[in-house]
């Protein structure tokens, strides 16, 4: 009898594992599939222009950009909970706190996430729906280009992502809402290299200044494994750098499983450092901002060196631009 019971349990465990894998895959498609869907739809419409059906689809696609995407809508909340519940199990992602007790739920923090990589997908574990960070109010900020992209703008808005404008960033912190930002931004993609981790921070004064003006502590974080979630290709040359700066993001070709938008199942190790306290200063000098930025860069480098062995990156170096 015990053998039969054990066999049934094994079958049930296998079934649960398969269901979990399917749900995590579906969550990833819902979250990231929009990138390639936009590419496919745009390419088909342009190749068949001015065919009536192509014009109609293109018009609908453009209209999607102007349909409001509310963070707290019932549909959006359901989609966000589903994605956050299952997407983190896809890789999976392990979170390590340097000091979880260092956080005060009543304060607003600037959660500075590095690296950007092709996409900073590791921050899904930091979203409000994941409940990992001991913070009550939390939003993630991303490039405004995201919010001019059909489908992606809606899904990411439901996940709590908002455009990263200085005005909105400042208002959120002053209201007591913590913000997740990726300081290196899309420009960090310009410096990506296979085989080593790259961050673009030495001239990133803006997020430090906003944090100082609000008196919000800055939390250094580093996601190991994220850089291996996609394969990618990008051009080289000064023209490419100039184009990237002009359009506000770095165009590159990237692909995951089956050549599509779904990333490879690469385990991630997300390290959350101790908050860096800053004195509230409504008008900090460049020297004062630079001093805090230096502290932040040193903290990111220390996180990397301390945890790279446990994360399986002992032979990988960190290059800071």
Instruction: Copy the structure tokens of residue 121.
Output: 């997908």
7 pLDDT band, cuts 50/70/90, is low
CA neighbor of 296 nearest in space, from 185, 235, 208:
208
For the chain, the straight-line distance linking the first and the last C-alpha, in angstroms and rounded, comes to 64
> Is the pTM for the entire model greater than 0.75?
yes
For 50, phi then psi, to 5°, come to: -100, 40
Mean pLDDT over the full length of the chain: 90
CA distance 167 to 175: 12
HEC secondary structure over 193-248? ECCEEEECCCCCCHHHHHHHHHCCCEEEEEEECHHHCCEEECCCCHHHHHHHHHHC
Give mean pLDDT, residues 229-248: 83
Q: What is the predicted pLDDT for the residue at 8?
A: 67
Q: What is the predicted pLDDT for the residue at 3?
A: 58
* Strands, E assignment, the chain: 93-97, 110-114, 138-142, 161-163, 178-181, 197-199, 218-224, 231-233, 253-255, 268-272, 318-320
What are the tens digits of pLDDT across the range 92-149? 999 999 999 999 988 999 999 999 999 999 999 998 888 899 998 999 999 887 888 8
CA neighbor of 162 nearest in space, from 177, 173, 146, 186:
146
Of residues 8 and 104, more confidently modeled: 104
CA distance 130 to 296: 25
What are the tens digits of pLDDT across the range 216-226? 999 999 999 99
CA distance 92 to 81: 17
Give mean pLDDT, residues 151-178: 93
* In the predicted structure, residue 5 carries a pLDDT above the cut 60: no
CA neighbor of 31 nearest in space, from 134, 122, 136, 165:
122
CA distance 5 to 77: 40
CB 290 within 8 A of CB 224: no
214 pLDDT band, cuts 50/70/90, is very high
- The domain segmentation of the chain, as residue ranges, is 2-32+65-320
What are the tens digits of pLDDT across the range 92-102? 999 999 999 99
């Amino acid at each position: 009898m015990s053998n039969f019971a054990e066999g049934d349990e094994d079958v049930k465990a296998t079934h649960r594992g398969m269901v979990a894998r399917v749900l995590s895959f579906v969550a990833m498609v819902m979250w990231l599939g929009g990138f390639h869907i936009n590419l496919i739809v745009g390419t088909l419409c342009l190749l068949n222009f001015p065919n009536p059906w192509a014009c109609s689809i293109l018009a609908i696609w453009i209209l999607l950009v102007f349909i409001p995407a509310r963070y707290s809508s019932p549909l959006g909340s359901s989609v966000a909970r589903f994605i956050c519940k299952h997407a983190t199990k896809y890789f999976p992602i392990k979170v390590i706190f340097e000091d979880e007790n260092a956080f005060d739920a009543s304060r607003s923090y600037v959660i500075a996430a590095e690296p950007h990589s092709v996409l900073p997908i590791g921050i899904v574990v930091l979203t409000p729906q994941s409940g990992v960070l001991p913070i009550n109010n939390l939003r993630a900020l991303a490039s405004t280009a995201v919010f001019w992209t059909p489908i992606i703008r809606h899904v990411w808005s439901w996940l709590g992502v908002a455009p990263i404008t200085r005005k909105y960033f400042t208002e959120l912190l002053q209201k007591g809402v913590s913000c997740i930002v990726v300081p290196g931004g899309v420009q960090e993609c310009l410096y990506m290299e296979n085989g080593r981790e790259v961050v673009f921070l030495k001239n990133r004064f803006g997020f430090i200044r906003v944090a100082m003006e609000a008196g919000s502590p800055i939390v250094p974080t580093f996601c190991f494994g994220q850089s291996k979630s996609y394969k990618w290709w990008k051009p080289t040359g000064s023209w490419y750098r100039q184009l990237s700066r002009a359009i506000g993001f770095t165009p590159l070709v990237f692909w995951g499983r089956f050549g599509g938008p779904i990333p490879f199942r690469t385990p991630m190790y997300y390290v959350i450092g101790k908050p860096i306290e800053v004195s509230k200063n409504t008008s900090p000098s460049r020297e004062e901002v630079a001093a805090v930025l230096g502290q932040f860069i040193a903290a990111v480098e220390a996180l990397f060196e301390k945890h790279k062995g446990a994360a399986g990156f002992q032979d990988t170096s960190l290059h800071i631009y």
